[in-house]
């Protein structure tokens, strides 16, 4: 199981934990940012990393 450090206090917690077991802060801020950065291909609906000019799955050109 992967471990990550709490984004607030640095305590080592499980990567799937939503709250730090040490300071109790929610770890969702980072995940929500990542979700917003995902670009959904209008052609095939695949989720791509931001900044690409073509879909990594179906290769259609964006815009």
Contacting positions for Zn ion (CB under 5 A): 6, 8-9, 11, 20, 22-23, 41, 43-44, 46, 55, 57-58
Give least dist CB 50 to Zn ion, A.
Answer: 14
Per DSSP, the residues of 42-55 read: TTT--EE-TT-SB-
Classify residue 15 by its DSSP letter. T
Q: Name which of 35 and 52 has its Cβ closer to Zn ion.
A: 52
For Zn ion, the closer of residues 34 and 44 by Cβ is 44
C-alpha distance from residue 17 to each of 23, 37, 41, 48 (Å): 13, 21, 30, 25
Nearer to Zn ion by Cβ, of 34 and 43: the residue is: 43
């Amino acid at each position: 199981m992967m471990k990550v450090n709490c984004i607030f206090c640095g305590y080592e917690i499980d990567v799937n934990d939503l709250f730090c077991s040490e300071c109790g802060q929610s770890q969702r801020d980072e995940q929500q940012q990542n979700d917003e950065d995902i670009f959904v291909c209008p052609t095939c609906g695949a989720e791509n990393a931001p900044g690409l000019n073509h879909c990594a799955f179906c290769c259609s050109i964006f815009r």
